Structure 1
């Protein structure tokens, strides 16, 4: 997708909603609203269409229209008691209340700090204390965890009804007109783990989030134009005859994939969102068939489960028209199995990160199938280059660190100036920490990571964070966490520890109690001797990873248990 594409040229021409212009040296949408709430308000036009299919805390199914969601949001705004620029922390599982909370924060002019609701109490409270919010919005379970973690500040449990008199009192008072945000103002803070083992909040501006959303809309419009051309009709006629699109929400809403592609994009498009309370391949198949889900975006682990669920239940999932993934390459046999179940499906892949407000490289349909090993083709709103170890920009086909520059890129890390300086160059290039190359057509191929990170089931697990907790376990003198290949998860986090450890079967629970459970190692081996080290004295994880099969086999042969969740 380049500027010489006639469809791209037509839909981004002067005077169109997607007209492009260079501002501050960055390609941007000339007609974009400066405030995300202004963009959100456009979704009111979808009126009585169903927007959310969800379940309440007591398990009752809920179906909410766009009109009902906006009414709920408007009722919540005066209860927040915030002004423009105030930070508001949101900590809930995926549910309608989470979405209403976010919309209300945007309407009130606040900055939404999205907390990992799967974290341990100490993790969650550390994030809260970092951003010092005016109020925390939670569900009952997360509210209990937050109090358990020691937080004593203001918090609202949105899953409990507010007293009617309080609602009436708040709504009767004068609501301050906070005006509109400037495009460069803070909009949201999304937390991402770091190689130091401490979480850090990426600050996304209104401009960066809006650019990411409009970039997705632009891709959709181009697909629509190409489809209309193939059918011999106008794009307007095609869109008028399409049924309402529906997506199955499985990404956590505190992830950029959940916030952008799974929530805000469907909201703006007038699509239905079906929220799963708990992941299950079999239940996903049932929901897809029942709700006529057309779009499904997930990590490869979940797509495998979906395929296996379809085989087991023999449900008709032919309603699925689009399946997308990101973060990990889609295995060839998975692609073949998807085509077997849904021959007309459009497959796609995207490459992005929290710090870039979503995908900055993408490939869909035949564009993707031509180069299935790629992470996508660089999108028009992004500039991507490859930097060698010596700082030299490398030509096409040569591998180095992937750098990106775009209006989508974050402003920096909250209260982390040194981390920001490490991640971003003086002229605005973001260092992704991924090693890869770009071919002559602009496709990005990822070959390694410079960050010590494992992607397991689509979740980023930073080894330094896990090792910090492992090192606090009684008797552990040294430790190493790393990933090994796993057919279902992509990678499985495992650990080797050394020292005088007498209660090794507690190690995994020890990590799970202090971090999110998904960050706990799948297996732990206690080494009989010192861990291998490289020439500079650091633990040699490459050697440990290569030796893992032998280490595991030796433990099993000796009768020692390999501690872990099999």
Structure 2
């Protein structure tokens, strides 16, 4: 879809410019984009003695991080195309493991570290890695799940590590369409799938993010009557508070790799705590904060109660779910100096496919952003017909940043990705005349609670295995803090709400446990094709739970 061309965009993407764009293989691509993601990573070594990672008492410069990476690469003893499963909480070692895997030509399989032992082993079995890199806690969980393969505990390495030499590692760069990473995402079946992101798709997604940032910089400079270079020279080092899980595309892209390339500081929070976040923002001079609405509400309420200083924030963005307008108003009241932003994307797209920042966002704050320059978007009806502007249907996208497919799942891949590269997002929405995307609904039966995707089929599968449960349904209801709250309705005998929550939280991840459980005494309503009618259950929810 072609919009009226922004003059700044035209200038910085023109031939001969760093972000020059050209059509290749039927897709718009960056002319100067390296074939191998690692070449983009290595370029960040120029930031040298600048602080890159802050984690508690640890402070590492860019050079120290690269030196640690170089030390680890030969110890992995992997070859091009080998999978390396990374399973840790957010920590410095996770970042080192990813950088080392990519440097060695391996494929980083990013595991949801919050999973149960059975879930972790299922992910490992899916990608058959040459090596698992874990922290001590996750290594124990993986062993509990029955895995007997090689695990390297990077948080507790052996005392005597054999010396390795980086020059012994195959220096051949990867090809653009070689897999670089596998990120796990559930489907409507509730079964885990590994989205394969290539060097081209990840690099395109990251450079698109950089392009958006450069456009914002040029706009600011224009308003101030100065050159972008002069403005950059006056700006302090940018600092990002990392709160998204690194195994999410948001954590991997916008909170780790993008700051790496830009020479920004990344401050890692072990677990979310609004009071601690406010302290870190002040002490570390955090300039960029991206979190789900839950976190933004917590931070703002804490700031008001404790009179916290959030004055260093220059960019505040939200992802994972729609941003409530009342939350936006409150952010602008507490942090008037900060530009607000939003984006829309998914794992299978290597990040955002639509984005809006500052005035671009505020003028249409109900939108999920504008379609990004290197992405094609169309809206399809139920029969696959392409719909005109302004009409709602399934959002279907194409571009150089789209995944190659699901690892070892050709049928699942074919169900969402056409032979000519169009990806069905499963989201219902529309695109207006200015290229803004508005999300209307989801075709996927999924709940986004506190920024986490919870697939109802997955929860229902566990509920259906519990003794005494004869019928069950899981769905989301609006929740001011979480965005959506996962709830369930069950027809069951001999079970309590606490038992059901505990069983789901134990068999799956704890965050997938239902927030509320209602017990029905009659058969659940069904629609004309015999499926449980969740719309009717949502309407009946207050009565089912005993509320007016």
Under TM normalisation by the shorter chain, which class is it? over 0.9
Residue in 1 that maps onto 2:100: 104
Could you tell me whether the CA contact under 8 Å between 2:3 and 2:434 is conserved in 1?
Answer: no
SS in 2 for 1:360: strand
> 1:98-497 alignment to 2 at 5 Å?
98-164=94-160, 166-168=161-163, 170-171=164-165, 175-497=168-490
**How many angstroms does 1:174 deviate by?**
6.5
Q: CA-atom RMSD, angstroms?
A: 1.3
Among 506, 513, 519, the alignment partner of 2:506 is: 513
**How many angstroms does 1:313 deviate by?**
1.4
Residue in 2 that maps onto 1:87: 83
**How many angstroms does 1:3 deviate by?**
6.4
**How many angstroms does 1:123 deviate by?**
0.2
Residue in 1 that maps onto 2:545: 552
User: 1:213-266, CA deviations, whole angstroms, 9 ceiling, x for partnerless residues?
Assistant: 000111111111111111111111111111000010000000000000000000
In the alignment, structure 1 residue 78 sits paired with structure 2 residue 79: no
In 2: Cα distance, 1:501 partner to 1:542 partner: 27
In 2: Cα distance, 1:125 partner to 1:143 partner: 11
**How many angstroms does 1:424 deviate by?**
1.1
**How many angstroms does 1:499 deviate by?**
3.3
In 1: Cα distance, 2:339 partner to 2:493 partner: 54
TM-score, scaled relative to structure 1: 0.95
In 2: Cα distance, 1:231 partner to 1:531 partner: 62
Could you tell me whether the CA contact under 8 Å between 2:320 and 2:452 is conserved in 1?
Answer: no
In 2: Cα distance, 1:124 partner to 1:182 partner: 29
**How many angstroms does 1:327 deviate by?**
3.0
User: 1:137-196, CA deviations, whole angstroms, 9 ceiling, x for partnerless residues?
Assistant: 0000000000000000001000013324x242x34x961324000001000000001111
**How many angstroms does 1:118 deviate by?**
0.3
In 2: Cα distance, 1:509 partner to 1:276 partner: 27
SS in 1 for 2:546: helix
In the alignment, structure 1 residue 24 sits paired with structure 2 residue 20: no
User: 1:509-562, CA deviations, whole angstroms, 9 ceiling, x for partnerless residues?
Assistant: 1011111100110111221111111111111111111100011117xx9xxxxx
Residue in 1 that maps onto 2:54: 53
In 2: Cα distance, 1:326 partner to 1:284 partner: 18
User: 1:370-412, CA deviations, whole angstroms, 9 ceiling, x for partnerless residues?
Assistant: 0000000001010000001122111111100000001010000
**How many angstroms does 1:12 deviate by?**
0.6
SS in 1 for 2:168: coil
Could you tell me whether the CA contact under 8 Å between 1:84 and 1:178 is conserved in 2?
Answer: no
In 1: Cα distance, 2:498 partner to 2:99 partner: 44
**How many angstroms does 1:2 deviate by?**
4.9
Could you tell me whether the CA contact under 8 Å between 1:495 and 1:523 is conserved in 2?
Answer: yes
Aligned pair count reads: 547
In 1: Cα distance, 2:473 partner to 2:230 partner: 58
Residue in 2 that maps onto 1:58: none
SS in 2 for 1:63: strand
User: 1:418-476, CA deviations, whole angstroms, 9 ceiling, x for partnerless residues?
Assistant: 11011112221100000010100000000100000000000000000000001011111
SS in 2 for 1:553: coil
User: 1:42-84, CA deviations, whole angstroms, 9 ceiling, x for partnerless residues?
Assistant: 11010111111103xxxxx101110110011011111111011
In 2: Cα distance, 1:327 partner to 1:258 partner: 11
Gaps of 5+ in 1: 56-60, 558-566
Identify which range, 308-317 or 174-183, moves more after superposition: 174-183
